[in-house]
Amino acid sequence: MPFVSAICPSCGGKLEVDGGKEAGICTFCGNPFITEKAINNYHIQYHIHADNVISYGGKPSMEELLEKEAVYLRLHEQVKLAAVYEEMTDSYPSRYEGWWGKIRILTENFTDPDADMEQVGTWYGFVQEAADAAALPELKRTMHDYRQLRLRHQQEAEIEAQRRAVDEAQKSLTDYRERMDTAMSGLQERITERENAIRKTYQPNVTKETLPAVLWFAGAVACLVGAVAGFWFLIMFTIILCVLGIIYLTRKNRLQAVRALQEEEKRLSEDKERLLRKRNEMQTECSQMEQIVRIEQQKLTKLEAEQKAMNRE
């Protein structure tokens, strides 16, 4: 059998060995080596397919492993397929079929968009290095379709997340508007009640507030005058005194009521100003939340447009 190139497993020296012998001695380091392993080392380093290497120690050939793969694929035996691909990559790392099979298992036959893309990328790098020119275009198309699947899945997830963000923003805006309307309505009702209470409380009542005091005063003076003057003079004096007393006390009570009313209206005006500032602040926050909703809706529209464009492609 002719000599073939090999690499010593011990020192890495490049050898020319007789392929018909099972073992040999390295001319560089003097260590023994198994011929097939030394030849395989050379094939691995220089990416040469090792289909014709003599098997040793009961290790199945690549053809046998490919036959097992075909059977397990028909039977959908994923666990056994994974074991076959593991053996392929261990025994024949320079062949692409084992690496491609591992990718198929990891991605569930290129249908799982959540597979570990870093691991897939590593194995696909081995595939690109080992695959021949005839098989490589189909492998690239399959990987391209899988990447498109992942991209569509990511876009769908982003769109769904964006829709939730829009819904949450709109719900927050609606809840805030309801709270604002309730708060403003309650404050306005309290202010109206205070205005009515002020008018009712500080309105002077001549009958209840003025007349008793006037009658007591007029009666006391009338008794004093009656003791000195005549009866008719007493009547006239009493009437005039009552009228003057009513006018005086009414004016006095009215002035007091007006001053109290002015003070209370001043406090009420301050409350109204605070209410107006609060309303403006809430309206500003409401406008900001509306802006957030518009931005989120624009993002959603953009994502949906990108997804439609990808689907057309």
Domain map (residue ranges) of the chain: 3-46, 62-131, 165-312
Per mean pLDDT, which range of 142-146, 220-224, 252-256 is the poorest?
220-224
User: With bands split at pLDDT 50, 70 and 90, how would you rate the model's confidence at 120?
Assistant: very high
pLDDT over 50 (residue 206): no
168 compared with 254, residue with greater pLDDT: 168
Percent of the chain at pLDDT exceeding 90: 14
pLDDT of residue 97: 92
149 compared with 279, residue with greater pLDDT: 149
Q: Where are the alpha helices (DSSP H) in the chain?
A: 35-46, 62-75, 78-91, 96-106, 117-130, 136-201, 211-228, 231-312
Predicted TM-score (pTM) of the model is 0.49
pLDDT of residue 18: 81
Per mean pLDDT, which range of 13-27, 65-79, 118-132, 276-290 is the poorest?
276-290
Residue holding tokens 């009513």? 246
Sign of the Cα pseudo-torsion (89, 93, 95, 96, in order):
positive
Q: Token pair of 198, please?
A: 């002020």
pLDDT over 90 (residue 260): no
Q: What is the mean pLDDT of residues 137-152?
A: 90
pLDDT over 50 (residue 76): yes
Three-state DSSP at 171 gives helix
Q: What is the mean pLDDT of residues 241-247?
A: 62
Buried b (16+ CB within 10 A) or exposed e, 121-156: eebbebbeebbeeeeeeebeeebeebeeebeeeebe
Buried b (16+ CB within 10 A) or exposed e, 61-80: bbeebbebbeebeeeeeeee
> CA-CA distances (angstroms) from residue 196 to 35, 99, 184, 190, 252?
110, 87, 18, 10, 23
pLDDT of residue 247: 64
pLDDT over 60 (residue 279): yes
pLDDT of residue 245: 61
Per mean pLDDT, which range of 66-70, 94-98, 207-211, 246-250 is the poorest?
207-211
d(CA 12, CA 42): 9
d(CA 66, CA 100): 12
Three-state DSSP at 86 gives helix
d(CA 170, CA 308): 25
Q: What is the mean pLDDT of residues 71-96?
A: 88
User: With bands split at pLDDT 50, 70 and 90, how would you rate the model's confidence at 124?
Assistant: very high
Percent of the chain at pLDDT exceeding 70: 71
| Virtual torsion, Cα 18, 19, 20, 24, nearest 10 deg | 50
Q: Give yes or no for a contact between 261 and 229, defined as CB atoms under 8 angstroms apart.
A: no
Residue 46 phi, psi (nearest 5): -105, 15
